[in-house]
Amino acid sequence: MGIDLCKLINLQKIADPRGNLTFIEGGRHIPFEIKRVFYLYDVPGGADRGGHALKICHQFLIAMSGSFDVIVFDGKEKEKFHLNRSYYGLHLPPMIWREMDNFSSGSVCLALASEKYAAVDYYRDYNGFLRALAETK
């Protein structure tokens, strides 16, 4: 798995004068079935989130309101994605270190996950993540 698998995915936007609509179907619009949904909100100015990698879980992040940056690292390359619209999101495959920062006031990050929460799926220690990457090579 490499950084090239971290992709922005445009979602269908159905425009209507009464308000726009966007929908997501797991396995159709995003490359996994959805088993968990969570969201981040009320992130204080200057705070960051993430700081981990997942062993088997895929995630799809959407800026439902406001904006934020997602910095991804695969052990070799680093890339920053700016999320600021509710009709596209960022697919994060397993074994990608992610950090999130630059949250605007009132921002909400929706996360769709391929797995139910399991603490053992997380690399929360950066050096441990790098060691695990080296072992898989």
pLDDT digits (tens, 9 = 90+) for 60-113: 999 999 999 999 999 999 999 999 999 999 999 999 999 999 999 999 999 999
What pLDDT score was predicted for residue 137? Answer: 65
> Minimal CA–CA distance to 114: which of 84, 83, 89, 91?
91
42's tokens: 């009320």
Has 52 been annotated as catalytic?
A: yes
Among candidate residues 29, 52, 58, 91, the one labeled active-site is 52
Q: What are the structural domain ranges in the chain?
A: 3-136
- Give the full edge-to-edge strand order of the sheet including 88-92: 7-10, 88-92, 59-65, 108-113, 36-41
Contact 68, 83 (CB under 8 A): yes
What pLDDT score was predicted for residue 9? Answer: 96
Contact 114, 35 (CB under 8 A): yes
pLDDT digits (tens, 9 = 90+) for 47-56: 889 999 999 9
If one looks up domain 3-136 in CATH, what number appears?
2.60.120.10
What pLDDT score was predicted for residue 2? Answer: 82
134: Cα within 13 Å, side-chain hemisphere: 6
First and final C-alpha spacing in the chain: 11
